[in-house]
Structure formats: C-alpha cells, structure tokens
Amino acid sequence: MDKLNVLLVCGSGASTGFMAANLRKETAKQGLDWEINARSEAEVDNFASEADCIMLGPHLEYLLEELTERYKERNIKVAVMEKSYYSILDGAGALKHIQSLF
C-alpha cells in the first residue's frame, strides 16, 4: 500500500516514538506516503479513527483481542509488533510486518 495511516502504541509513547522515526525513514526510502504516529495506550481511542493499522508494542499484547474487536467494524488492522524488530527499533522489519497485514 502506497498510502497508509499507521498508529504505533506503547505504554507511554516513548519507545514507539523512536520506532516511528525509523519507520518513517524506511517508508521514505521506499517512496511510500505513510503517516506514522506514536501514541500511548491511553490515547488509542483518540487517534484510532484516523488509522488504517494499529501496531502494539510487544508488552501490550494483552490488548490485541480487545482492540481487534473494538475496531473490526472500521476494518482497522491491529497487530503486535514482533520483539525481533521492536527491540532494536528496526524500521525495515516493522515495515515488512505492516505490509504483510494488507
């Protein structure tokens, strides 16, 4: 997908802020027009309406089922970022994972 709105979510929004920056660099390299935002779990409902995809930090896996159910009517993809790329803030790994959802 060339155009996508991605919401990265973690406890406070700090670690996903770094992931968002690396994911933006990767999408720019590939010529993708994605909007990528990082927010805390408390802010999910405030920003979900704009999202095509919500990616949760691995430590928030317990929210996966709840958020998937909550946003299924809007066709928002919800997934948990894999520790393999999240732990090293690998934007390329995150990009591949997101693309696999669509």
Q: Which of 33, 31, 9, 4 shows the shortest CA–CA distance to 20?
A: 9
Q: Answer yes or no: CATH 3.40.50.2300 is held by domain 3-101.
A: yes
**For residue 36, what is the enclosing H or E element?**
strand 33-40
The whole-model pTM stands at 0.93
pLDDT for position 89: 95
pLDDT for position 13: 63
pLDDT for position 43: 93
Q: Give the sheet arrangement for strand 53-56, strand by strand.
A: 33-40, 3-10, 53-56, 77-80
> Both tokens of residue 60?
């928030």
Walk along the chain (102 residues) and give the pLDDT tens digit of each residue.
678 999 999 987 678 899 999 999 999 999 999 999 999 999 999 999 899 999 999 999 999 999 999 999 999 999 999 999 999 999 999 999 999 999
> Both tokens of residue 40?
């805390």
